[in-house]
Structure 1
Amino acid sequence: MLEIRGLDHIVLRTNQIDRMCAFYCDVLNCTVERETPPELGLIQLRAGNALIDLVRVESQLGKMGGGAPTKTGNNLDHFCLQLKQTDEDTIAAHLASHGIDAGEFAKRYGAQGYGMSVYIKDPEGNTVELRSEIVDN
């Protein structure tokens, strides 16, 4: 039997590689772990114990996935990043300092049980859920 331990990586295709890198590194504090030659088109960002792979749409890897994402044709519905325990005001202030509206925080169920989370958008329009402390199970 297979047993899932967590998220290893996700792959986001983009035609805005610089803006996407800035968003995930500057706003969400990911770090560039590995970058392939431009013709291959992959930048891998460290996000806690997982990776977020950014693939240039026009690159060798990117062309394998079809056209660029659009406002109505994104790569995915959303993905969730688990944060270290942080209060909503700190998260909202950090996002505001980067010009990102935090929207409404709500109690939602995820892999670690219930926790407070908020949805934001990256530069390609992908929805990123940021989840903080666990409320209860």
Structure 2
Amino acid sequence: MAIPFAPVGIDHVVLLIDDMSRALTFYIEILGCRPGYSYPALGMEQVWCGSSLIVLWDVTDPGGRKAAPSVVGGRNVDHICIATTPFDHEALRTHLEDHGITIIQEAYHGGARGMGHSFYIHYPFGNKIEIKGPADYRDGRSRD
């Protein structure tokens, strides 16, 4: 039987947080996402990350009670990979350091767009974010 659809990319990822202001500051001011839809009755804000959404659901808000993790101390996401335009690695290191964000790992490996350089960070709520530039050709040229 044929699959009745074809995947086209990540639509959204939902992250549980406990300080909406701090989360919005991180995604908008540090990562450059744009404000998206707002659902105050649910304790939920969304930010655009390119053509995908990151949904921030505040578990301390009355509207976010049903979003609370069912396992105390458990995680529901390992990491989110944010695909980016080409960037200067040293400038990114400086930018993150200026905002008190520690790089926990740098790696060069594959992803949906091919082999490229990645920076892994933890953001204020403990979730891991991978910031991944575009794929590189073997001769070092960046692929747009």
Q: In structure 1, what is the Cα distance between the partners aligned to 2:104 and 2:79?
A: 15
> How many correspondences in the alignment?
135
Q: Which runs of 4+ in 1 moved over 6 A?
A: none
Seen in structure 2, the aligned counterparts of structure 1 residues 31 and 77 have a Cα distance that, compared at 3 Å, is same
**Pair member with larger Rg:** 2
Alignment of 1:25 onto 2:22: no
Alignment of 1:7 onto 2:17: no
Once the two structures are superposed, the pairs formed by residues 78-93 of structure 1 within 5 Å of their partners are 78-93=79-94
Aligned residue for 2:58? 56
Q: In structure 2, what is the Cα distance between the partners aligned to 1:68 and 1:17?
A: 20
Report how far residue 43 of structure 1 moved. Answer: 0.4
Aligned residue for 2:103? 102
Structure 1: runs of 5+ lacking an equivalent: none
Report how far residue 69 of structure 1 moved. Answer: 9.0
Seen in structure 2, the aligned counterparts of structure 1 residues 68 and 101 have a Cα distance that, compared at 3 Å, is farther
What is the TM-score normalised by the length of structure 1? 0.87
Structure 2: runs of 5+ lacking an equivalent: 139-144
Contact 2:101 2:123 in 1 (8 A): no
Q: Which moved more, 1:52-61 or 1:121-130?
A: 52-61
Contact 2:104 2:122 in 1 (8 A): no
Greater RCO structure (CA 8 Å; 6+ sep): 1
What is the TM-score normalised by the length of structure 2? 0.83
Contact 1:107 1:117 in 2 (8 A): yes
Q: In structure 1, what is the Cα distance between the partners aligned to 2:126 and 2:102?
A: 13
Report how far residue 61 of structure 1 moved. Answer: 4.8
Superposed CA RMSD in Å reads: 2.1
Does the residue aligned with 2:57 lie in a helix, a strand or coil? strand
